[in-house]
């Protein structure tokens, strides 16, 4: 037992040294006095408020944000968040209060993120694709006291308890008469530094909610060394302007924008995604980094050579994609168009980071999820909770890292084995140590006694030039229990029929993996982060 604890202590110390080296290489760790100042700032007010305090001290006039209203420097964001924190404190918002934000990506959301940290409040990031029932359920369950919202979502507010305070974050014209607006509070309040809270605020992220009301996954204080997980295999550095196209209410957007601000970089935000506009932003601001979810990436490359050729995107060094699986053809087409700059993170709201696939990994096999970065441990287990170590053998994926959450806000948790947290996926490692995700554990289809994971069939179909994307689900069958049904979205101008699709699968995979039914759709149902809503297809 003593020997085991000693080994774990040595391993933990080695990871800490490796993580510190990664942070130094990225430019997040420098002179001892500067590093200490940064650690203290994050300790007092949390990571998001901390990075603006640090940025305002180091380079106050550097541009932090560019949105539809123009530029804001690090000093301006710092003063805005001070003013908002002071105004809300006078209204009783403080430690333990839950503030919810139903906002698109803009300066107001960034200001709210920093202000809640300075108050010790918890910020619940709401999905902008919510319908009234989801908004009402989540607001009630998480005990929201203050709701910050964009004007376009006003019609949803009558689903929320009237006792919940409201604050308007973004208006399309002028603020409605009598409205309590974010900008009004900031303009009317002193932006001098505010007292530090007893403990910094935190975030509550929401799961994708593909099968019901999303669950709350809190993110409290974590070690600064944990940032190395997002920098080890992705070369984010100083002086790299970023276009944040992904929504910041999602873990992908939140983590990457936080790193950009920590590095003192400029972040360009847009409230709505448009594929050609994204190219224009990259070209105009010479962005080195583009952060997207996979469906955004597909829409960009589907613009075609004529549109893509209009914009100079040679400044791109990183296209960071996460949130759902990237089809194989999208991976290869992306790198053929933009060069070897694609980095694909595999993880979840609960575990945060599991693995990262670099361009080298993706050139080797476009389907891979890559390898674990420093500080992350990934293991596979069979149905009897025995570790699976043989290359090619499928097992349930479990992850351990300093960024994993400690349980849902309702007290439940994911399955845990040997201190590692389940992702809910199954996968396998190859002989080179690359992870491949074979599908969701609960997506497995049992047809005639054979186990089928839809992703394998979906990837095969998506590789066809005439197929834009495909989804496979199980539907009831009297003889086989379940049979496979494929939903196919054809590429523009393409035509084929169900028999051709079935014959193609039969020629490439085992007979029991051939869909018995094929339906053609104009598009697949997805949520705002690009995850497939299989329940809508099975319904």
Res 502 pLDDT > 90: yes
Q: CATH 3.40.50.980 spans which residues of the chain?
A: 76-221
Segments in 325-453 forming alpha helices (H): 328-338, 359-364
Q: How distant is the alpha carbon of residue 85 from its chain centre?
A: 26
Q: Are 181 and 168 a contacting pair, CB within 8 Å?
A: yes
* Structure confidence by residue, pLDDT tens digits, 219-257: 565 666 677 888 889 999 999 999 999 999 988 899 899
Q: Residue 156: which residues within 8 A CB-CB, separation 6 or more? A: 102, 130, 131, 132, 135, 149
User: Which element (helix H / strand E) includes 52?
Assistant: helix 32-58
Q: How confident is the model at residue 412 (pLDDT cuts 50, 70, 90)?
A: low
pLDDT tens track for 301-330? 999 999 999 999 999 999 999 987 888 889
Which range (160-174, 336-350, 523-537) has the least confidence?
Answer: 523-537
Question: Inter-axis angle of helices 498-508 and 454-462, to 10 degrees?
Answer: 110
Which class is 76-221 in CATH? alpha beta
Give residue 104's pLDDT.
96
Q: Where are the beta strands (DSSP E) in 358-503?
A: 377-381, 387-388, 395-400, 416-417, 420-429, 435-440, 445-447, 450-452, 467-477, 481-490
- Which of 151, 169, 165, 163 shows the shortest CA–CA distance to 90? 165
Q: How far apart are CA 50 and CA 81, in angstroms?
A: 11
Q: Can you tell me the distance from the alpha carbon of 71 to that of 412, in angstroms, rounded to the nearest whole number?
A: 42
Contact 44, 50 (CB under 8 A): yes
pLDDT tens digits, one per residue of 136-192: 989 999 999 999 999 999 999 998 999 999 999 998 866 554 457 999 999 999 999
Q: pLDDT band at 3, cuts 50/70/90?
A: very low
pLDDT tens by residue, 86-105: 999 999 999 989 999 999 99
Q: What is the pTM of this model?
A: 0.85
Are 350 and 399 a contacting pair, CB within 8 Å?
no
**CA pair distance 300, 319, nearest whole angstrom:** 12
Q: What is the pLDDT of residue 174?
A: 64
What is the reported pLDDT for 178?
A: 47
- Ranges in the chain annotated CATH 3.30.300.30: 444-538
Whether the per-residue pLDDT at 124 is higher than 80: the answer is yes
Mean confidence (pLDDT) of the chain: 87
Is-contact 149 102, C-beta < 8 A?
yes
Report the CATH number of the 444-538 domain. 3.30.300.30
DSSP string, 252-299: HHHHHHHHHHHTT--EEE-SS--HHHHHHHHHHHT-SEEEE-HHHHHH
């Amino acid at each position: 037992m003593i020997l085991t604890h000693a080994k774990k202590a040595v391993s933990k110390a080695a990871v800490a040294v490796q993580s510190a080296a990664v942070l130094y290489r990225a430019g997040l760790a420098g002179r001892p006095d500067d590093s200490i100042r940064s650690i203290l700032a994050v300790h007092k007010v949390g990571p998001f408020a901390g990075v603006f305090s640090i940025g305002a001290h180091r380079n106050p006039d550097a541009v932090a944000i560019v949105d539809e209203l123009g530029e804001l420097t690090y000093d301006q964001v710092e003063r805005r968040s001070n003013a908002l924190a002071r105004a809300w404190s006078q209204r009783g918002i403080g430690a333990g209060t839950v503030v919810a934000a139903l906002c698109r990506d803009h300066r107001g959301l960034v200001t709210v993120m920093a202000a809640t940290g300075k108050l010790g409040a918890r910020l619940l990031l709401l999905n902008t694709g919510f319908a009234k029932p989801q908004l009402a359920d989540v607001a009630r369950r998480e005990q929201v006291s203050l709701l910050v919202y964009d004007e376009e979502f006003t019609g949803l507010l009558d689903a929320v308890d009237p006792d919940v305070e409201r604050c308007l974050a973004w208006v399309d014209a002028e603020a409605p008469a009598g409205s309590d607006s974010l900008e009004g509070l900031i303009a009317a309040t002193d932006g001098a530094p505010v007292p530090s809270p007893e403990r910094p605020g935190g975030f509550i992220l929401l799961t994708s909610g593909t099968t019901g009301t999303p669950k709350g996954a809190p993110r409290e204080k974590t070690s600064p060394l944990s940032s190395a997980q997002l920098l080890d295999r992705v070369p984010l550095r100083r002086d790299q302007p970023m276009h944040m196209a992904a929504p910041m209410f999602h873990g992908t957007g939140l983590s990457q924008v936080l790193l950009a601000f920590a590095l003192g970089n400029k972040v360009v935000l847009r409230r709505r995604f448009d594929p050609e506009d994204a190219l224009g932003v990259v070209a105009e601001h010479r962005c080195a980094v583009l952060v997207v979810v996979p469906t955004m990436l597909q829409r960009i490359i589907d613009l075609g050579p004529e549109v893509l050729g209009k914009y100079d995107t040679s400044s791109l060094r990183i296209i960071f994609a996460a949130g759902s699986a990237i089809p194989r053809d999208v991976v290869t087409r992306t790198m053929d168009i933009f060069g070897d700059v694609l980095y694909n993170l595999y993880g979840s709201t609960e575990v945060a980071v599991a693995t990262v696939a670099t361009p080298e990994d993706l050139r080797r096999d476009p389907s891979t999820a890559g390898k674990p970065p420093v500080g992350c441990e990934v293991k596979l287990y069979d149905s009897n909770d025995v570790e699976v170590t043989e290359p090619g053998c499928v097992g349930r994926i479990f992850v351990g890292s300093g960024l994993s959450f400690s349980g849902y806000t309702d007290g439940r948790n994911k399955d845990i084995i040997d201190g590692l947290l389940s992702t809910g996926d199954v996968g396998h490692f190859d002989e080179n140590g690359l992870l491949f995700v074979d599908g969701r554990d609960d997506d497995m289809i049992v047809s005639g006694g054979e186990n089928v994971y839809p992703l394998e069939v979906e990837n095969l179909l998506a590789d066809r030039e005439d197929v834009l994307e495909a989804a496979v689900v199980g539907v009831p069958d009297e003889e086989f229990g379940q049979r496979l049904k494929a939903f196919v979205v054809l590429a523009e101008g393409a035509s084929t029929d169900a028999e051709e699709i079935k014959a193609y699968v039969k020629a490439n995979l085992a007979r029991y993996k051939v869909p018995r039914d094929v339906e053609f759709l104009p598009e697949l149902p997805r949520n705002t982060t690009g995850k497939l809503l299989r329940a809508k297809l099975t319904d």
